[in-house]
Amino acid sequence: MMDFDFELLLTLLVGVFGVGYALDVWLWKPARIKVLELAITRAGGELPEAQQVELMRESMFAEYSRSFFPVLAFVLVLRSFFMEPYQIPSGSMLPTLTVGDFIVVNKFEYGVRLPVLGTKVLDYNEPKAGDVMVFKYPKNPAIKYIKRVVAVPGDTLELRDKVIYINGQQMAQTYVADASPTTEIYLEQLGDVEHLIWRNKNPGKNGSITIPPGQYFTMGDNRDGSNDSRYWGFVPEANITGKAVAVWLHWDSFFSLPNFSTAGSID
């Protein structure tokens, strides 16, 4: 779960500084040049350099706009259409992702979307079972979640004592080891992806559901410690942010040093 809407703040800042930048280029700077030229003419063609600099001095807003707009616009384009970093705040994706992992999200894997609005302007790939996906939490779109896609539109999903069946086909789970006295590690085959999951030793609930058009069913790899589609429902296609592809850094807290202990691609 990631609950700070940095994209919205960044978009607002780009808009504000973009207006300032445009006003300075098209209005304020030409006005300063005219004032300077008039002053030079009145001075007989010569004007002290210090006075020229003073006449050409832009306002603080114009100066900040000129300095910040290109940088913020570049960051917005990069984050909105290509790659975006996130930090993992909870253990719902253990053992795949740990608290403090910084991950890279591929924003164009599932099509190009407009920042903040999320409107898709270029459509090519769709999420598939096994993908680790970042999306806006359906109950509160200001919050972003990261889970694994389990079933896609049209699939019939069945859970039998914590084992997944897609369209009647069992997704194999192979016991690996005990993570604790109450938790076991399994290797799960989900679609084309093989990954580790945690599940406790208590019996699981059974149930079956068909995924509606434009909706996705997601679950955390920490199967008994994840708030996911089993509790709040489907993820609408419009809420998708991108595909998590790699861990690039791990940082436990402000008082610890970053490290690369978990760096690597995400299964």
Maximum CA extent, the chain = 93
3-state per-residue secondary structure call for 84-127: EEEECCCCCCCCCCCCCEEEEEECCCCCEECCCCCCEEECCCCC
> What is each CA distance from 169 to 11, 136, 158, 159, 221, in whole angstroms?
44, 29, 9, 11, 20
Q: Is 147 among the residues known to form the active site?
A: yes
Cα-only R_g, the chain:
26
Candidates 107, 136, 144, 147; catalytic one: 147
- Encoding tokens for residue 164? 């997944």
DSSP-derived 3-state class of residue 220: coil
Contact 151, 129 (CB under 8 A): yes
Measured CA to CA, the distance from residue 139 to residue 6 in angstroms comes to 19
Measured CA to CA, the distance from residue 101 to residue 261 in angstroms comes to 9
Measured CA to CA, the distance from residue 99 to residue 149 in angstroms comes to 20
Candidates 80, 90, 92, 229; catalytic one: 92
Give residue 113's Cα distance to chain centre.
12
Burial label for 31, CB within 10 Å (0-12, 13-18, 19+), is exposed
Q: Is 92 among the residues known to form the active site?
A: yes
Q: What share of the chain is helix, strand, coil (3-state, %, to 5)?
A: 25, 35, 40
- Encoding tokens for residue 121? 């302007």
Q: Which residues are catalytic?
A: 92, 147
